[in-house]
Amino acid sequence: MKSSAQTHSFLTAVTAIFVASLASLASEGGPASGANWPMFRGNPALTGIASGALAEKLSLLWSFKTGGPVKSSAAVVDGRVFIGSGDGNVYALDLASGKKVWTAKTGGPVDSSPLVLDGKVFFGSTDNSLYAVEAASGKPVWKYETGDKILGAPNWFVQPLTRPSDTLSPSDGEREGVRGALKTNVVVGSYDFKLHCVDAATGKTNWVYETGNYINGSPAVFEGKTAFGGCDAILHVIALDKGEKVKEIEAGAYIAGSVAVADNRAYFGHYENEFLCIDLNKGERAWTFKDREFPYFSSPAVTKDQVVFGGRDKRLHCVKRDSGQDVWAFATSACTA
């Protein structure tokens, strides 16, 4: 699975914005509402759900042509649209008009979605690097190099910092820790087999966690942990504070898309034609959906009662969240993942 062309359906080199309701980050795993959609799948748990309603009739507002294919979704924050392109650039566009505001250049195609956070835009490139630029101007802030290309979108979490106090612990006589400032970190997977955690402010390494193969998707963040898959066919659950293993759960085949997490259950599809729900507390399958002999590469949307995902069978599937029972399938003219 060395080529993203094997695992993703491509958009054209034109980004089109339709008249519709967009959404903002409301909570770690909850739906977004309002005018912002700051990252891939909308929130750190990657549930892909926005509140609000679309207009009954959608019409094209504008389009913007880049010099290469646009392979992933845009981030929308404070009246600007941020997209990556196969021409090696990340673009900031005016949401109302589609006019270009700035361009940030990388050394290779940008396949992943941008993350917009704290006045910065974070994105990976196939030039093996994770970038941070100023959201207002596109001016470089830092560049972090991994050992191979980055296809999945970066995610983020906040970590409380602990400083020593003057109070001695009664158990061992050492200084007790006191919670101080909060530190924002960015996590991203790479084809170097590793999940990288870096300081969002400086781009300095916090920790690196090594797996057995390529990491394609974006890591989901929930309750102080991250869950992600890759070409080693394992669902990895990692503690975010130190990057230490919590669980490894055999999936049975390559995991090409991103994992969504809700209520300590992980939802994802894999290369051997199954869509899975994993109970993260027990470390085992809660249910398995298998329809026709086609793999599932797309990232799911998880609602209160249902899970929606696309497949290489040219259908969009909806199943019950608690059981995986089929609710409906919508036929499309092409692969939906």
Domains, the chain, with CATH or none: 4-331 (2.130.10.10)
Write phi, then psi, for 6 (nearest 5 degrees).
Answer: -80, -20
Per-residue pLDDT of the chain (337 residues; tens, 9 = 90+): 443 333 333 344 566 654 343 433 334 455 554 579 999 999 999 999 987 788 889 999 999 999 999 998 999 999 999 999 999 999 999 999 999 999 999 999 999 999 999 999 999 999 999 999 999 999 999 999 999 999 999 999 999 887 665 555 566 655 555 567 899 999 999 999 999 999 999 999 999 999 999 999 999 999 999 999 999 999 999 999 999 999 999 999 999 999 999 999 999 999 999 999 999 999 999 999 997 788 998 999 999 999 999 988 889 999 999 999 999 999 988 777 6
Q: What pLDDT is stored for residue 27 in this prediction?
A: 40
Which residue's structure tokens are 């193969």? Answer: 213
pLDDT at 13: 57
Counts for the chain of helices (H) and strands (E), in that order: 0, 26
Q: CB neighbours of 319 closer than 8 A, spacing ≥ 6?
A: 275, 289, 306, 307, 325, 326, 327
Both tokens of 133, joined, read 């630029």
Tell me the residue type at 14.
V
Taking the model in full, what pTM does it have?
Answer: 0.88
